[in-house]
């Protein structure tokens, strides 16, 4: 299970993230959630490049999260996203 305290440093702010301690760089998320994930070859982990902004993007990221063989993609939930928006 992904730990929010171990987020990859390049994760885009928001509710979805990649736990760098679990990620094996298999690139499943990059192929499943195209446009929302990439690989940081220096840090040796995948990361969320941008948070989904619509239903299609949300479905792609959720599918990547459910398909990740290491369960390295986490979801902090709507409450965290709401707090971030209030602080902007």
Q: What is the DSSP track for 9-66?
A: TTPPSSSEEEBTTT-----HHHHHTTTTEEEETTTTEEEESS---SHHHHHHHHHHHH
Going from the N-terminus, what domains does the chain have, and what CATH number goes with each? 4-76 (3.30.70.20)
Give the span between the Cα atoms of 38 and 47, in whole angstroms.
Answer: 6
pLDDT of residue 34: 86
Query: Average pLDDT in the 41-57 region?
Result: 96
The one-character DSSP state at 7 is: B
Please state, in angstroms and rounded to a whole number, the distance separating the CA atoms of residues 15 and 32. 18
For range 49-75, the mean pLDDT:
95
Query: What is the pTM assigned to this prediction?
Result: 0.85
* Interval 67-78: pLDDT, tens: 999 999 999 886
Residue 87 banded pLDDT, cuts 50, 70, 90: low
């Amino acid at each position: 299970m992904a730990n929010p305290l171990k987020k990859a440093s390049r994760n885009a702010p928001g509710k979805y993230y990649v736990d760098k301690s679990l990620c094996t760089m298999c690139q499943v998320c990059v192929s499943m959630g195209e446009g929302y994930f990439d690989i940081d070859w220096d840090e040796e982990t995948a990361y969320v490049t941008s948070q989904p902004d619509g239903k299609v993007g949300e479905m792609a990221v959720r599918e990547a999260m459910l398909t990740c063989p290491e369960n390295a993609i986490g979801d902090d939930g709507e409450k965290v996203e709401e707090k971030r928006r209030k602080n902007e």
